[in-house]
């Protein structure tokens, strides 16, 4: 995944430069290398499109395109999502929209892949899923889920892993394993970090679908909008979340996802070092200067 640098009071200038000066992505596994080769001949399970916001930011939309399978996350489908995210991470895009084609956002893992599968395959499948969810949180772009219809199990995990999420009034969210014989263990890693403990356990133990108003109240999503306003509302939130320096935003996302996992004293030590080091970047200095000089900033994204 993205490189992580541990910081403390004695952190050297070299380590600070490592932190703020070189955003790199390395292959997560051999499956990623395979996926990058596969992507050169086109995708079978997703589509990519590119757009520009009213504020001039470049957006990439990754659309899950298995409507006949309710956008179920087969191994091949997840490998394509990983390849698309890795490719986008190296682009000039400021934001990424993850969407679904067809009646639902995503029904989770594809049982057609898994019925009768041996333990080795299941480990590969679930490890790939974990890599996908973590990659969403380490790419430098702001990633937003645009949710319609149902988002269940690993589909709900995808929503929880995204930086932001906008949902249509017709959407629903569930971790349904609790009603059956195979508990939603891995989806609850992301869902349990997006909502409160009691809410996460209610979702996982009952397996019941919650409506978007409840999902909003619990912190799983950011907005609920009428179905016909979903596209515009998603674009609006992403446009506002991506204004300013792309470099600063990428570092901010990386720092948040690191410090939120630490105890408060360690989180402050880490965030203090990052904020101090990043004050020396070109965009931080430009932001301060443009504010004092009452002019529009000219971002250099470094």
Work out the average pLDDT over 176-193. 94
How many alpha carbons fall within 13 Å on the CB side of residue 269? 13
Instruction: Give pLDDT, residue 30.
Output: 34
Question: Do 128 and 226 fall within a single domain?
Answer: yes
Question: What is the span of the domain harbouring residue 256?
Answer: 1-26+247-302
pLDDT bin (cut points 50, 70, 90) of residue 42 is confident
Which of 226, 241, 256 corresponds to the end of one domain? 241
Q: How many domains does the chain have?
A: 2
pLDDT number for residue 301: 84
pLDDT at residue number 55: 80
Q: Do 55 and 146 sit in the same domain of this protein? A: yes
Q: Are residue 53 and residue 158 in the same domain, yes or no? A: yes
Do 92 and 209 sit in the same domain of this protein? yes
Residues 130 and 147 in one domain: yes
Better-predicted residue by pLDDT, 206 or 28: 206
Task: Tell me: do 161 and 14 sit in the same domain.
Answer: no
Domain assignment present for residue 276? The answer is yes
Least confident of 42-56, 122-136, 220-234: 42-56
Q: Is the distance from CB of 32 to CB of 83 less than 8 angstroms?
A: yes
Of the given ranges (33-42, 173-182, 283-292), which has the lowest mean pLDDT? 33-42
For 59-70, give one letter per residue: b (16+ CB within 10 A) or e: bbbbbbbbeebb
- pLDDT tens figures, 74-126: 999 999 999 999 999 999 999 999 999 999 999 999 998 898 999 999 999 99
Main-chain phi, psi angles of 226, to 5 degrees:
-55, 150
Same domain? 75 vs 117:
yes
Same structural domain for residues 55 and 149?
yes
The answer to whether residue 241 scores a pLDDT higher than 60 is yes
Q: Are residues 233 and 276 in the same domain?
A: no
What is the C-alpha R_g of the chain? 20
The torsion of the CA quartet 61, 39, 129, 274, rounded to 10 degrees, works out to: -70
Cα–Cα separations (whole angstroms), residue 222 to 17, 137, 168: 34, 16, 11
Model confidence at 184: pLDDT above 70: yes
pLDDT at 264 over 80: yes
For residue 165, the model assigns a pLDDT of 98
Q: Which of 221, 241, 261 is the last residue of a domain?
A: 241
Shared domain check, 179 and 115 = yes
Q: Write the pLDDT tens digit of every residue in 125-162.
A: 999 999 999 999 999 999 999 999 999 999 999 999 99
User: Is residue 88 assigned to a domain?
Assistant: yes
pLDDT band at 18 (very low <50, low <70, confident <90, very high): very low
Task: Note the pLDDT of residue 2.
Answer: 35
Q: What percent of the chain has pLDDT over 70?
A: 86
d(CA 231, CA 146): 8
pLDDT at 13 over 80: no
Give ∠ CA 114-119-125 in degrees, rounded to 5. 55
Query: Quick check: is 68 in a domain?
Result: yes
155 and 233 within one domain: yes
The per-residue pLDDT for 24 is: 36
* pLDDT for 294 beyond 70: yes
For residue 25, name the pLDDT band (cuts at 50, 70, 90): very low
Q: Are residue 56 and residue 140 in the same domain, yes or no?
A: yes
pLDDT band at 53 (very low <50, low <70, confident <90, very high): confident
* Band of pLDDT at residue 180, cut at 50, 70 and 90: confident
Average pLDDT over residues 265-275: 96
Nearest residue to 62 (alpha-carbon basis) of 24, 35, 37, 93 = 93
Domain-located, residue 110:
yes
Whichever domain contains 166, its CATH number is 3.90.226.10
pTM: 0.86
34 is a domain residue: no
In-domain check, residue 266: yes
Tell whether 33 is covered by a domain: no
pLDDT range class, residue 32, cuts 50, 70, 90: very low
The CA-to-CA distance between both ends of the chain, in Å, stands at 21
Residue 271: give its domain's CATH number.
1.10.12.10
């Amino acid at each position: 995944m993205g490189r992580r640098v541990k910081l403390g009071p004695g952190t050297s200038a070299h380590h600070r430069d490592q932190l703020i000066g070189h955003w790199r992505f390395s292959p997560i596994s051999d499956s990623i290398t395979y996926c990058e080769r596969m992507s050169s001949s086109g995708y079978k399970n997703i589509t990519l499109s590119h757009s520009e916001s009213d504020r001039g930011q470049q957006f990439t939309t990754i659309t899950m395109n298995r409507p006949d399978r309710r956008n179920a996350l087969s191994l091949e489908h997840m490998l394509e999502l990983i390849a698309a995210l890795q490719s986008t991470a190296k682009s000039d895009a400021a934001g990424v929209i993850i969407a679904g084609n067809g009646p639902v956002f995503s029904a989770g893992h594809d049982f057609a892949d898994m019925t009768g599968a041996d333990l080795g395959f299941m480990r590969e499948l679930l490890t790939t899923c974990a890599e996908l969810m973590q990659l969403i949180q380490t790419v430098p772009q702001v990633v937003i889920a645009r949710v319609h219809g149902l988002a269940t199990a690993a589909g709900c995990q995808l929503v929880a892993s995204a930086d932001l999420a906008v949902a249509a009034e017709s959407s629903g969210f569930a971790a349904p394993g609790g009603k059956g014989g195979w508990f939603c263990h891995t989806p609850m890693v992301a869902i349990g970090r997006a909502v409160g403990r009691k809410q996460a356990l209610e979702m996982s133990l009952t397996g019941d679908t919650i409506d978007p108003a409840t999902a909003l109240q619990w912190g799983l999503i950011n907005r609920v909008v009428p179905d016909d306003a979903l596209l515009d509302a998603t674009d609006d939130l992403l446009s506002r979340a991506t204004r300013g320096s792309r470099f600063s935003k990428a570092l901010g996302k990386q720092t948040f996802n690191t410090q939120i996992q630490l105890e408060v004293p360690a989180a402050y030590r880490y965030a203090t070092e990052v904020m101090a080091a990043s004050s020396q970047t070109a965009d931080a200095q430009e932001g301060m200067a443009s504010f004092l000089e009452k002019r529009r900033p000219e971002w250099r994204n470094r």
